[in-house]
Structure 1
Amino acid sequence: MKKIIFAAIAVMAFGFTNAQKTRFGVKGGLNISNFSADYNTDALVGFQLGGFAEIKVIDKLVIQPELLFSAQGAKYSFDRRDYNIRLNYFNIPVLAKYYITKEFTVEAGPQLGFLVSATNDGDNVNGDYKTIDAGFNLGAGYNFTDNLSLGLRYTIGLTGIEKDRDYGFYGRGYDDTRSGVLALSLGYKF
């Protein structure tokens, strides 16, 4: 984890030294998230909001570190009752973004998420979830203008998000539960 954070800081520092090749922006959008787990879950709708830097490496390739607040989670049923698990994260993706044309882009890269809060139907369940979530992003985008863009991205969870725990009569917790998030966002570069 320290290596990833160090690499992200190094990329941002490189961007600041080459300010003429760096653009900053804000973005926000809709999340559709779910869990891949040993139990059945349904998608939950949330949002994301944050900022990014677009650091030009070569003509068509940029590195794009981001800082996003992301509302994620899933729905599940147990004992004939429906529950909503809401997990709020500060996510830090670092993406390699390639401009196929001036309008169309593709992107991929790792992401670290830091848990801010976890609730299950309003009840605090922070202790049931790990504080760090690692993922990998794949996405595409369309630039309407030099400033305004639309992005579609899927984040694949690489690590389990639930802590291993004992529920007594109900059995063990689900240590291998992973999150997945489909995000549609609108971005504006300055």
Structure 2
Amino acid sequence: MKKIILAAIAVMAFGFTNAQQTRFGIKGGLNISTLVGGDVEDTKSLVGFHVGGFAEIKIFDKFFIQPELLYSTQGTKVDGPLGTDADLKLNYLNIPVLAKYYIVDKFSVEAGPQLGILLSAKANGSDFKDYTRSVDFGFNIGAGYNFTDNLSVGLRYTIGLSPITDNEIDNTEDYYDSAKNSNLALSLAYKF
């Protein structure tokens, strides 16, 4: 975890040294999230939101690095027996670092890793943070479209790479077959 944070800081520091090649912005939008894998059954998507800031650092002509800092509400709806449904709400401070390539002037594609720091975990209002991992690793893939030089929209899918809980993870097979985050995000961004 320390290596990822240090790498993100190094990328941001590089951006500050090339300020004329860096643009900063804010973004926010809609999350549609759920949990996938493991013995997760009878789940439905939960609607949430994300908000935060980013830096778009030009590396060369059409290639950029884009570190972000986002507050993100995620989770899932679980259908329990006899109508005992539950909303599992997981709030994260997500730090994605994306490689971004402009295919044409207005359209870009992006991909990269993400570190999520769990801020809270609740099931129908009851805290269950002690039963969840405090760090979540994921991988993003997405695309964006610039309406103007400042205003853009983006669509991104994030698949969790690490389990949300440490329960019953005894070997590699359990690790890969455990419940992980899955999130589809639609964003509106403004660059300064």
Alignment partners' CA distance in 1, 2:123 and 2:165 = 13
Partner of 2:60: 58
Given candidates 37, 42, 45, the residue that maps to 1:43 is 45
Partner of 2:122: 119
Pairs aligned (count): 181
Q: Tell me how far 1:46 sits from its aligned partner.
A: 0.2
Q: Tell me how far 1:98 sits from its aligned partner.
A: 0.2
Q: What is the one-letter code of the residue matched to 1:146?
A: D
**Is 1:154 matched up with 2:168?**
no
Q: Tell me how far 1:3 sits from its aligned partner.
A: 1.6
- Per-residue CA deviations over 1:36-60 (Å, capped at 9, x if unaligned) read 1312111100000000000000000
Alignment partners' CA distance in 2, 1:21 and 1:75 = 43
Partner of 2:32: 32
Question: Is 77-86 or 176-185 further displaced after alignment?
Answer: 77-86
Structural mapping, 1:30-179, within 5 Å: 30-37=30-37, 38-40=39-41, 41-80=43-82, 81-164=84-167, 176-179=178-181
Alignment partners' CA distance in 2, 1:132 and 1:79 = 30
> Structure 1: which 5+ runs fail to align?
166-174
Q: Secondary structure of the residue that 1:185 maps to in structure 2? A: strand
Alignment partners' CA distance in 2, 1:130 and 1:18 = 36
Partner of 2:173: none
Partner of 1:182: 184
Q: Which runs of 4+ in 1 moved over 4 A?
A: none
Q: Secondary structure of the residue that 1:6 maps to in structure 2? A: helix
- Per-residue CA deviations over 1:105-127 (Å, capped at 9, x if unaligned) read 00000000000000000111111
Alignment partners' CA distance in 1, 2:49 and 2:81 = 29
Alignment partners' CA distance in 2, 1:84 and 1:128 = 16
Alignment partners' CA distance in 2, 1:5 and 1:122 = 31
Q: Tell me how far 1:163 sits from its aligned partner.
A: 2.7
Alignment partners' CA distance in 2, 1:39 and 1:99 = 37
Q: Tell me how far 1:183 sits from its aligned partner.
A: 0.1
Partner of 1:14: 14
Q: Tell me how far 1:35 sits from its aligned partner.
A: 0.4
Q: What is the one-letter code of the residue matched to 2:146?
A: N
Q: Tell me how far 1:2 sits from its aligned partner.
A: 1.8
Q: Quick one: percent identity of the two aligned structures? A: 64
- Per-residue CA deviations over 1:100-158 (Å, capped at 9, x if unaligned) read 11110000000000000000001111111100000000000000000000000000100
Alignment partners' CA distance in 2, 1:114 and 1:39 = 22
Q: Tell me how far 1:79 sits from its aligned partner.
A: 2.2
